[in-house]
Amino acid sequence: MPIFALPFPMIDPVLVELGPLPIRWYALAYIAGLALGWLYARRLVSREHLWGEVAHPSRESLDDLLVYVAIGVIIGGRLGHVLFYERDFYFQHPEEIVKTWKGGMAFHGGLIGAIVAMTFFAWREKIFALTISDICAAVAPIGIFFGRLANFIKPEMWGRESDVPWAMVFPGAGDAPRHPSQLYEAGLEGVALYILLAVAVQRGALKRPGLATGLFGVGYGVARIVSEFFREPDHSEALDNGLTMGMALSAPMVLIGVGLILYALRPQRVEA
């Protein structure tokens, strides 16, 4: 173990208190991710050269999509955490399910909730569902980035014990220095994935429905699996043979992503 470790930057999880209402960094991270993602999505749909002949939603209709996806992410993320990670605890203490300010949001549950919301929006707007998911895939890394920063500030989901020079001693995690795995995930699942998808969009990915969605599935799945090697799983996340629940839930994303990429890049049929 190293003689020295980087001090954890103690940040009050409550930014400001407005009377009886505490404004928490955790909530602000979700708000920032949704708001900035919405602005980026509006920019994408307004650039006609990115779409070719693919029908896509209007800037104005994205206001409704934001509301639907926000509800889907919050409900799905919370229920995913309850069902995937701490089922026994929440079944014994159901009143704790609604206390989202204490933390506990599962990405894969939020993804399922977002898929339901996107499918409903696509049905309502009579637009191909993969086109809607491509928009959301392109903007999702923004929200993931802020979400992982919130995990770091809280702090939660810290890394495994390590002697790397940038290891930190996290409050509530004992005296051993650990990987700041939340920042690894912010970099891989947030920044790197955003750049990958931004480049793909500029190169015409939105003209092939499903391509951006597939790239997101592969990119996030691989990034999450890699990050799990540095993240300390708790009792609800650890599986047999050194695997984690995060790995198990991310592997299908990679396979589905590969399938969507192949579907999107299939030869286009030319009408006679």
Q: CA quadruple 63, 210, 30, 113: dihedral positive or negative?
A: positive
Beta-sheet pairing, 14-18 with 21-24: antiparallel
Q: With 70 as the cut, is the pLDDT of residue 106 above it? A: yes
**Burial level of 221, CB count in 10 A (0-12/13-18/19+)?**
buried
Torsion of CA 157, 163, 168, 172, to 10 degrees: 60
pLDDT band at 68 (very low <50, low <70, confident <90, very high): very high
Distance separating alpha carbons of residues 142 and 144, to the nearest angstrom:
5
Distance separating alpha carbons of residues 21 and 176, to the nearest angstrom:
35
Q: How many residues does the chain have?
A: 272
Tens digit of pLDDT for each residue in 137-168?
A: 999 999 999 989 888 888 888 999 999 999 99
* Whole-structure pTM value: 0.84
Binding-site annotation, residues = 148
Torsion of CA 19, 21, 27, 33, to 10 degrees: -60
